[in-house]
């Protein structure tokens, strides 16, 4: 099994409306997102996937989140936790993969770091 990882960043503000503590107030994060790919096979060029394409797809997916107030995006139902953000990124990436002719099943996991020590991971249903 081959594993690949690419990373990208975005900055955004949010608050957790169903939380009792300091995170219920508006605050921001410099998020780091890691996209994990797994493949048992390689293409003719000896690659599981093209790093440049993976980075481009990840950056395009994150663009609507960058410098936004995540609570204003209906996708997060007013409560943009790292867990919900990770799932949204996975779903958006899966659609982009399909549009590029890549199998969405290549996506093994999406990690969303709110800080260097706090991360949420979303695993696609077939990876659980």
Could you give the residue numbers annotated as active site? 23, 67, 114
C-alpha span between 48 and 62 (Å, rounded): 23
Could you give the CA distance from residue 115 to residue 128 in angstroms, rounded to a whole number?
Answer: 25
Whole-Å CA distances, 10 to 1, 59, 103: 30, 9, 25
Asked if residues 15 and 81 have their Cβ atoms less than 8 Å apart, the reply is no
Which two tokens mark 61?
């997916």
Contacts of 70 (CB under 8 A, 6+ apart): 12, 13, 14, 76, 80, 85
């Amino acid at each position: 099994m081959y594993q690949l990882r690419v990373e990208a960043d975005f900055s955004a503000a949010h608050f957790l409306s169903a939380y009792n503590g300091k995170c219920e107030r508006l605050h921001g994060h410099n998020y780091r997102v890691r996209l994990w790919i797994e493949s048992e096979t390689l293409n003719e060029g000896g690659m599981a996937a093209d790093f440049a394409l993976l980075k481009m797809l990840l950056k395009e997916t994150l663009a609507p989140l960058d410098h936004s107030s995540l609570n204003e995006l209906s996708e997060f139902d007013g409560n943009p936790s790292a867990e919900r953000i990770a799932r949204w990124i996975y779903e958006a990436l899966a659609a982009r993969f399909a549009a590029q002719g890549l199998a969405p099943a290549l996506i093994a996991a999406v990690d969303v770091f709110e800080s260097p020590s706090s991360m949420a991971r979303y695993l696609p249903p077939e990876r659980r």
